[in-house]
Amino acid sequence: MKVEFVHPDGAEDPRAVAMLPATGGFPASDRPLFLAGYHELCRVDLSGGRAMEICGGGGMLAAGVAENFPDAEVIGLDLYAASSPELDERMRRFSGLSYVAGDAFDLSSYDDESLDLVWGQAALHHLAHNPGGLAKEVFRVLKPGGRMVFIFEPMGHNLLVAAIRAVRMAQHELGDESNLYLSQFEKMATRFSKCEVQMFNFLGYPMKGFSDRFEWLSRSVHKLDSWLFRKFPKLLRYGANCNVIFTK
């Protein structure tokens, strides 16, 4: 199945905007990417449904989804279950919200076709040693028409971006970071009916050292990237970051 590269139109869903605190310490220049990803989470009607965040860390995004869909069951899964006074308060407000310890590659505690949505934020590149195994397990637990969404992932086809990342990873000794590639998405997509890759940061990534200091410059660079992606679609593959949406 063909993987489709796109650049979102920039429409802002108020529910997606409300989830922006879950971006944590990421710079404002990545706001359009996160908004597009959160918009994809909101496109699944979770009223009375069931969703899971894998590798959810502190659990704030799962809490944001639960707040948007108070009738849904929302599970935040990580190797260590998230816990904080703020999350405890949200679990009291939203009875369907829970946090569990578990392995994204082993969802055997969940029945076949029992989830409407599975997503991760800055997670897939940490699981890229076995993308086929991950896709197989998530496909099993998704209902027909369900979606697997990954938000804010690094792409490695742009050699300049890959070089900059390599320097940053070496400086900070980040041993578990890796780039993602089309071949991995194609391997994951074989089980799904559709795979869309939303691309961002063609010029935006190399210019981050400057643009993150000035909001006006960040907005201008994003607009220029959007124009370039529309004018020259072949550049989409060479964006630095992406959201990936698989539909069963």
Token pair 């944590």 in the structure block, residue: 24
pLDDT of residue 2: 86
- CA-CA distances (angstroms) from residue 101 to 3, 11, 79, 83, 136? 32, 35, 5, 11, 20
pLDDT of residue 176: 67
In the 8-state DSSP scheme, what is residue 144?
Answer: E
pLDDT of residue 79: 92
pLDDT of residue 215: 87
pLDDT of residue 171: 79
Domain boundaries, the chain: 4-247
Cα dihedral 40/26/229/210 (nearest 10): 170
Give the tokens for residue 82: 């998230």
Give the tokens for residue 157: 């086809």
pLDDT of residue 175: 66
CA pair distance 142, 114, nearest whole angstrom: 6
pLDDT of residue 174: 65
Give the tokens for residue 198: 């939303």
Give the tokens for residue 238: 């060479």
**DSSP for 14-78, written as a single string:** HHHHHTGGGGTT--GGGHHHHHHHHHHHHTS--TT-EEEEES-TT-HHHHHHHHH-TTSEEEEEE
In the chain, at which residue ranges do the beta strands (DSSP E only) sit? 4-6, 50-54, 73-78, 97-101, 115-121, 142-154, 194-200, 241-247
Could you state, in chain order, the average pLDDT of each consecutive group of 10 residues for the chain (248 residues)? 90 92 87 96 94 95 95 96 89 94 96 98 94 97 98 96 86 76 96 97 91 90 96 97 98
pLDDT of residue 60: 94
Q: Which CATH number fits the domain 4-247, given the four candidates 4.10.490.10, 3.40.718.10, 3.30.1280.10, 3.40.50.150?
A: 3.40.50.150
pLDDT of residue 20: 94
